[in-house]
Amino acid sequence: MTSATELSLYQMVQQQRRFRLFDALAWIALASLILVTAAHLVTKPPAMPAYADVRAAWKPSEAWLYDRDGRLLDTIRVDFQRRRLGWVPLKNISPAVRDAVVTAEDRRFWSHGGIDWLAIAAAIRARLTMGGTGGASRGASTLPMQLAAFLAPELARPGHRNWLAKLKQMRAGQALAANWTHEQMLEAYLNLVPLRGEAQGIGAGANSLFGKRPAEMTRTDAALLAGLLPNPSAGAKTLGDRACRIAHAKDCGAIRAAAATLVSGERAARLDPALAPHLAIRLLERPGQRVTTTIDRHAQQIAIAAMRRQLSGLGAERVRDGAVVVLDNATGDVLAYVGGVGLNSTAAAVDGANARRQAGSTLKPHLYAQVIERGWLTAASILDDSPVQLDTASGLYVPKNYDHSFKGPVSVRKALASSLNVPAVRTLVIDSVQAFRDRLWALGYHGVVEDGDYYGYSLALGSAEVSLVEQANAFRTLANYGKWSPVTYDVSRHFRQHPRAIVSPAAAFVVGDILSDATARTDAFGADSALRLPFWAAAKTGTSKAMRDNWCIGWSDRYTVAVWVGNLEGDSMRAVSGTSGAAPVWRDVMMALHAGHPGKPPAVPEGVEVRRIALPGTREPPRREYFLRGTAQSVMAAAPQAARRPRIVNPVNGSVYAIDPDIPADRQRLAVTVSGAVAGHRLILDKRPAGDADAGLQIVPRPGSHVLALVDPGGRTIDRVRFTVR
């Protein structure tokens, strides 16, 4: 009995012990689960994105401009936070770079799953043996772990790099390795890694640090790049020593020299051709944008070289800036766009091809085309190149020629070819300022926003402000027999707008023939000026007020070339004329564009006839001349005096005269001049008879406002002028 009781008690004690052990184990398991769950939650890293999402989200800081054949023209920086170029696929990165980075940063990269446990064990052992001072613990951070920190910067924030952050980074590395291939991880790492200065990624690093593309980097370059990774701002000595160890080089002299060059920044931005910076700024707006333009890189280089050569030859003390635009006549494609070439410019960022400047004489062809088209003048019509004063709302307008001389009676051909100012103003009087202003607007001169009264008669001499692109396209209209269409820069927005007829084909042809006539412009430009080419081409020069702008615009059968030379800050040029400033550039560009393919003269359009003419009373010999059908004459002569409308030539309406107090009053006279057949006509001064109109009247000036009238034999007033004496 006693033995049975003792056995029962023993069993109960054992059972209670088992229960307590089970409870302890249960509590331990629960505590472990809680701890594991807590550790899992505490060390949970941010979600890692998919490789495809990282690629899709990549935004370069640059934008790129390409020519019509896909060749790089220019690169501009759009995002200024970091300098990033396009994403570089792993296959386009030098194998030497891939090997050097893996060797330096993660030797067992290709074999582990995101965490290198052997490296971690070595790092722990090193920390313990070095008394907790740290040492080379960086060796435990794998490329996937570093990549995770690039994708989630909170994993490696400065001041928060403790064991907890390291655990999160390890788990993030594992997550990447589980979902990405090793090739994808290495490619992303090389594209996201921050390098020296602003450069991020192998694309920007290879460009700015080595002046190469990633595929062109050598073993030395690769060692230097890998040497930058622990400390991108390392000095030349530290970088050279580190790169030498990575390359296992026996002689480190060349590597240390390359490190010094890298640190100096001498190789920066060698891959940017910088051929069209002003157009790049005009067309590129977004990071990563790639625009394929209509520019022909060869034509662009021709224009740049010609302008550089001319500005260098003239010298900065005479002129500092220039711009060139080349258009394809048939399509309107902009083949060259040079907004400036730098050199000694004090405003190099200003786009000279798009800036509006005074047009000078370059508007005259459009004026003559309009009056020829309307049948009011022909190429053989006689204009009077003599002093003229025009009464305007703002006072007298007294135009003068460029050389301050007058040629007397001249034909329209000679007046336009020689760019005579007074005949152009007389032509505008025939046309009307408003009609000419409207024609300029129709031709695309959209800076001419005011009405005709604002510009006055000076519009004939180019007082309006225009851009070089507007000039080129307006002259291209003449090249296309008067048909206008917009210019095109961007191939992606390329569409053919139906051309609009602005100028009649016959008038456009006649004006082009005049501007190609080297003989007609000989008096003004010489027999062998820069405007004379060995093939057919038409051209017009112009110089604005105070020698601030110099233009030359012209066309051949295929191209229109427009050139501007001046100072973008607005100060005057020194000793630069139409044929010494812009014209030589125009000639050089035209000659290069037509090398081996000379320009051909245009076909005579319907509505144009040819006639042999004589021009008695002028200094021009008989010649063959083109006329619009129905306007031809065999003889063109200045109208005889008797055939002209009687009018008062002097004093000019609106004139103001001052009496000189040092000269006796009875010695001061104002001569009255009349023109036309005035026999029997009388002059009336302030409603009182003053004498016969053909008697050579002289007026004794008296202070005040006066009215002088010309009256015909029947008593009808046919002309009247007002003048003031002070």
Closest by CA to 548, choosing from 319, 306, 304, is 319
Q: Looking at the predicted structure, is the pLDDT value of residue 545 above 90?
A: no
Q: Looking at the predicted structure, is the pLDDT value of residue 353 above 90?
A: yes
Q: Would you say domain 337-628 falls under CATH 3.60.130.10?
A: no
**pLDDT score at 116:** 84
Tokens (6 digits) for 127 = 């920390």
Classify domain 641-725 at the CATH superfamily level: Immunoglobulins (2.60.40.10)
Q: Looking at the predicted structure, is the pLDDT value of residue 556 above 90?
A: yes
Task: Evaluate whether 277 touches 76 at the Cβ level (below 8 Å).
Answer: yes
| Alpha-helix runs per DSSP H in 516-598 | 522-525, 583-593
Long-range contacts, stretch 439-443, CB < 8 angstroms, 24+ apart: 439/366, 439/367, 439/370, 439/502, 440/363, 440/366, 440/464, 440/474, 442/484, 442/502, 443/366, 443/473, 443/474, 443/477, 443/484, 443/502
Q: What mean pLDDT comes out for the span 565-569?
A: 94
pLDDT in tens, 21-36: 777 777 777 676 666 5
Distance CA 462, CA 362 (A): 7
Distance CA 149, CA 193 (A): 10
Tokens (6 digits) for 545 = 């007020």
b/e string for 397-431 if b means 16 or more Cβ within 10 A? Answer: eebebbeeebbebbbbbbbbbbbbbbbbbbbbeeb
Distance CA 682, CA 485 (A): 56
pLDDT in tens, 388-420: 666 555 555 667 666 667 888 999 999 999 999
Distance CA 110, CA 435 (A): 78
Q: Provide the 3-class DSSP secondary structure of residue 704.
A: strand
**pLDDT score at 133:** 45
Q: Looking at the predicted structure, is the pLDDT value of residue 131 above 60?
A: no
Give whichever of 27-31, 480-484, 617-621 has the largest mean pLDDT. Answer: 480-484
Tokens (6 digits) for 211 = 């002046």
Distance CA 493, CA 488 (A): 8
Q: Looking at the predicted structure, is the pLDDT value of residue 134 above 50?
A: no
* Cα 365 versus chain centre, distance: 26
Mean pLDDT of the chain: 87
Distance CA 16, CA 697 (A): 150
Q: Looking at the predicted structure, is the pLDDT value of residue 668 above 50?
A: yes
Residue appearing with tokens 């003559």: 368
Q: Looking at the predicted structure, is the pLDDT value of residue 200 above 50?
A: yes
Q: Looking at the predicted structure, is the pLDDT value of residue 135 above 70?
A: no
Closest by CA to 221, choosing from 209, 232, 233, is 209
Give the chain's end-to-end CA distance (angstroms, integer). Answer: 159
Domain extent listing, the chain = 1-42, 51-264, 337-628, 641-725
Which run of H or E residues covers position 539? strand 538-543
Phi and psi at residue 260, to the nearest 5°: -65, -40
Tokens (6 digits) for 74 = 């220019």
Task: Evaluate whether 373 touches 443 at the Cβ level (below 8 Å).
Answer: no
Under CATH, which number does the domain 51-264 receive? 1.10.3810.10
- CA distances (Å), origin 87, targets 92, 192, 213, 544, 645: 10, 9, 12, 49, 79
**pLDDT score at 129:** 75
pLDDT in tens, 1-24: 556 676 677 777 777 777 777 777
Q: Same fold for the domain at 337-628 and the one at 641-725?
A: no
Higher pLDDT, 13 or 261: 261
Q: Looking at the predicted structure, is the pLDDT value of residue 233 above 70?
A: yes
Distance CA 668, CA 666 (A): 6
Percent of the chain past pLDDT 70, that is, above it, reads 90
Please list, in sequence order, all residues whose beta carbon lies within 8 angstroms of the beta carbon of residue 708, skipping any fewer than 6 positions away: 648, 651, 672, 683, 684, 685, 690, 699, 720, 721, 722, 723
